Amino acid sequence: MCGIFGVFGVKNAANYIYFGLYALQHRGQESVGIAVFDGKKIREWKNLGLVSEVFNEEILKNLPGSIGIGHVRYSTTGLTILQNVQPFCVNFAKKTIAIAHNGNLVNAYQIRCKLEEEGHIFQTTMDSEVIVHLIAKNHKKGIISAICETMKKIRGAYSVLLLYENSLIAFRDPWGFRPLSLGILDGGYIISSETCAFDLIGVQYLRDIEPGEVLVIDKEGPQSFKVFEKDEIKLSHCIFEFIYFSRPDSYIFGKNVYIVRKNLGRNLYKECPLSADFVMPFPDSGNYAAIGYAQASGLPLEFGMIRNHYIGRTFIQPSEKIRDISVKIKLNPVKDILKNKEIIIIDDSLVRGTTSRDRLKSIKEAGAKNIHFLLSCPPIRFPCFFGIDFPTASELIAAKHNVEEIRRFLDIKTLYYLSIEGLLSAVEELKDRVCLACFTGEYPLEVDFTFRKDIAEI
């Protein structure tokens, strides 16, 4: 999962991209980059780190132009190394193209091996570079035809921005796994992974880029091309965008994330009505479902753990004392609120289980009497191949243990997962248009179970 942001026809595009990426920072914290067309050539700046660490005012001044794209990365294919930072720029046939990609291709490695046999030389280990090679291979037919042919060959999740000469091009997979929205600003156009970035810089939302659509924005304005027939498009929006990834102030797939998460909490109460002294979230991932549960139950809402928002990446050392400190760096319990209380804790999901166990342990040590732990999604039992970084079942606690075994592992009184029916009820009319593969194992397209994140490095 990554964040992408594009600008067309707005003066000082790099400045707007900077703020857009700042709003999308939650979608990727490993690296960031901006590429801008200055009227003659594409200029770029990128590095490992956060938006605020990589860019400053002087760097942005050296990225002039009114057309550009940006990217924040959360790696799901290819290691976190400098050559894998996007946007990725290449020169071919006296042309320059820059790409920013959000998603994960399920057949990228097979295509890459075939292209290498044909003599193609790859500079990165990202699946995104496969898209560029396929476009370059067919560019003599024109950029639109090249993109359309590429989309027919690649499979998986892709919301893509291309910077090509004096145009901004967006295209999206026919399953619509990842969100992508179009807006207007000062007569120019903005494209973003989430609408929260529009709010920051005053963009008027127009519509979503449609699944299977190619949108070209140039001096003639936006031009839309449909690549797939209607019967080739089977919508499979990623449900985890609502559960965890997207910011609560965004509209994705036509719905407000905040309201969906509150509905998840309300549905948790319908399925698992409990009595306790209060409801609390594991912040920030459980905040909005906890509000929904508290409102539905009439119980007080408290914040029994306080999150430190000013932390970078932590490196866990082998000693037990340092491990204990690392848990408290991010979340620290409020002892006076928790002591001798029976509490309902709400969180969005349980993946590996070790982090939640440590957090629950710290709450017990703070004096909590009884702990009920409720999750606003079903058990995650199957790997994701479309842009979430848990690609092997061995990493998923619910793939190996039943609910009672997990409850004993967490050492709590109650463990409850929201049902699939409760999950779908929270998104209403989207219930037949979401991907539930991580819960059910029913994938919307064929996947390769031998896939590894570092497959191109092997």
Taking only the tens place, the pLDDT of each residue in 55-65 is 999 999 999 99
Per-position b or e across 126-158, b if 16+ CB within 10 A of its CB: bbbbbbbbbbbbbbeeebeebbbebbeebbbbb
Pick the catalytic residue: 2, 238, 384, 438?
A: 2
* Selected residue with higher pLDDT from 409 and 450: 409
Predicted local confidence at residue 321, as pLDDT = 53
**Amino acid 179: pLDDT:** 97
253 neighbors 179 (Cβ within 8 angstroms): yes
pLDDT tens for 351-399 read 999 989 999 999 999 999 999 999 999 999 999 999 887 668 888 999 9
Structure tokens at 267: 């549905």
Q: What architecture does CATH give domain 254-440?
A: 3-Layer(aba) Sandwich (3.40)
Pick from 75, 66, 137, 72: nearest CA to 104: 75
The token duo for 386 is 């479309």
Determine the pLDDT at residue 453. 60
| pLDDT tier, 317 (very low <50, low <70, confident <90, very high otherwise) | very low
Report residue 310's pLDDT band, with 50, 70 and 90 as the boundaries: low
pLDDT of the residue at 394: 84
What CA–CA distance (Å, rounded) separates 254 from 333? 36
Class of domain 3-235: alpha beta
Look at residue 324 in the predicted model and tell me its pLDDT.
55
Give the DSSP H/E element, type plus range, for residue 422.
helix 420-427
Per-domain boundaries in the chain: 3-235, 254-440
* Structure confidence by residue, pLDDT tens digits, 255-272: 999 999 999 999 999 999
* d(C-alpha 297, C-alpha 270), whole Å: 9
pLDDT at 181 over 70: yes
- pLDDT band for position 318 (cuts 50, 70, 90): very low
Residues in contact with 250: Cβ distance below 8 Å, sequence separation at least 6, in sequence order: 179, 194, 195, 196, 256, 257
| Res. 224: pLDDT tops 80 | yes
Cβ neighbors of 399 (< 8 A, separation 6 or more) are: 380, 381, 382, 393
Note the pLDDT of residue 323: 47
- Indicate the average pLDDT of the chain: 92
Q: At residue 305, what are phi and psi to the nearest 5 degrees?
A: -130, 140
Supply the Cα-derived Rg of the chain in whole angstroms: 23
pLDDT, mean of residues 116-145: 92
Q: Residues 34-82: pLDDT tens digits?
A: 999 999 999 999 999 999 999 999 999 999 999 999 999 988 777 788 9
Question: For residue 248, is pLDDT > 70?
Answer: yes
Active site (annotated) includes residue 435: no
